Structure 1
Amino acid sequence: MYVKIGDREFSFYRVDLDILKTGIQDIFSHFDKKTIRELLLQPRYKNIKDIFESNYKQFLDYPAGEVLFTLKKNKDPVYKLFLNNYGDLVYSQFVVKGNESLLNKSGLYMITVDEELVFAGVCANSFKLRFNQHIGNISPKCCYKDGTATHCHVNAKITESLPKGKVYFKICPMKNMDETKKVKNAIINRFEPIWNLRFGREELYS
């Protein structure tokens, strides 16, 4: 398929998803690289540092994932303060299949569900790396405030769409990242992909 922006046409090549596992929950609970005390030293958590150190002292030196999962099981919503807005959803693990020479390039990509454009994004590294190791394989750290909310958001939306729709990635190799971002923003402005709009303006123009 191709997309026409102004007087230029951009060709997109479809790649298929191979779903390895779905219905994955509580990924954040497996994060054991830092304790709660260590996590609270990071700038993204400064707003909750005093609250947690005052009211949850007993948890400070335990692995963050273990603590947050305990709080969740105890129905204490404070655990969500450590996670990004999409860090406690249901995810899938998947890889993409297609032309390897294209997948090893960088550029612009779109996601379609039943041929409706729902998301547009940019890969500064290879498509294969972004899809297989990041979007398609959500890590525990990804779920936290200083993780990658975009990957959580997109994976969760794909997971939600899988039972009832055909999901594809479509890639357009491009070398110039400044141009790639401009084309992405033009596509978003023109087609208003619903997943971009729900994620917010930070994602639209990043």
Structure 2
Amino acid sequence: MQLYWNIQELTFEPVEISFKDEVSTNHFARLRPKSLAETIAKDRYNQFEPIVIEKYNEYLEWNIGEFLVYLKENGDNFYMRFLNQYGDLKFGTFRIEDKRYLSKKGIYAYSIDGEIKYIGRCLDNFQKRVNNGYGRISPKNCYLDGRNTNCRMNNLIIENMKQIKFHVCVMDNEEEIKEAEKYLIRKIDPSWNIQKY
């Protein structure tokens, strides 16, 4: 795949993504070992303390994940207030294994049927960005103080795992990586990119 930036041709190489078969729901429930009481004591969640004390006082010692699943299963949407907007989606695990790219950095793209859906930048290495970021969701990421972009992207990729393609353009200069990403997002306007420069 060839794209252009500042009269420069950028070559995006296809990199295979390996998916695990398991897709999880209620991923937030795997957070351990925090109790409901410990959670509402944190700054990000102490706004919920009055409601919890009034309505859910007998659950204070429950694990936060088990408590939220209990609420969900009983039709109590209060559980969603602890999660970011993508925290209750389906998640899976995927990774890249091609050693030529694991330690490299640059620009990357996800596409479906030749249409670029997402452009991103990687300033450390593709292994961290894909394998440890989007490709493996920590239950902590599902919560208000987690990484909601990781949740959103993992879900989009998992929902499209049969068609999704991953491409990388290896670059070394961090300023060029940032500028090329901004330019490509403005030019292509990929539907999965929320931040439009």
TM over 0.5: yes
Letter in structure 1 aligned against 2:171: M
Which residue is equivalent to 1:187? Answer: 184
How far the C-alpha of 1:16 sits from its partner, in A, is 0.9
CA contact (8 A) 1:26 1:89 kept: yes
Higher helix share: 1
CA contact (8 A) 2:40 2:47 kept: no
Which residue is equivalent to 1:65? Answer: 65
Q: 1:145 to 1:176 in 2, by over 3 A?
A: farther
Which residue is equivalent to 1:4? Answer: 4
Provide the identity percentage.
Answer: 32
Q: Quick one: distance in 2 between partners of 1:27 and 1:63? A: 14
Letter in structure 1 aligned against 2:177: T
Which residue is equivalent to 1:155? Answer: 154
Q: Quick one: distance in 1 between partners of 2:81 and 2:124? A: 31
Which residue is equivalent to 2:91? Answer: 91
User: 54-63 or 84-93: which moved more?
Assistant: 54-63
Give the count of matched residue pairs.
197
Alignment gaps of 5+ in structure 1:
none
Matching of residues 34-45 of structure 1 within 5 Å = 34-45=34-45
Q: Quick one: distance in 1 between partners of 2:13 and 2:42? A: 40
Alignment gaps of 5+ in structure 2:
none
Which residue is equivalent to 2:115? Answer: 116
Q: Quick one: distance in 1 between partners of 2:167 and 2:153? A: 14
Q: Quick one: distance in 1 between partners of 2:57 and 2:179? A: 48
How far the C-alpha of 1:101 sits from its partner, in A, is 2.8
Q: CA RMSD in A?
A: 1.9
Letter in structure 1 aligned against 2:48: I
Q: Quick one: distance in 1 between partners of 2:171 and 2:155? A: 27
CA contact (8 A) 1:32 1:66 kept: no
When normalised by structure 2's length, the TM-score is 0.90
Q: Quick one: distance in 1 between partners of 2:53 and 2:120? A: 38
How far the C-alpha of 1:112 sits from its partner, in A, is 0.8
Q: Quick one: distance in 1 between partners of 2:170 and 2:47? A: 41
CA contact (8 A) 1:94 1:137 kept: yes
Q: Which runs of 4+ in 1 moved over 6 A?
A: none
How far the C-alpha of 1:23 sits from its partner, in A, is 3.0
Aligned partner of residue 112 in structure 1, secondary structure: strand
When normalised by structure 1's length, the TM-score is 0.86
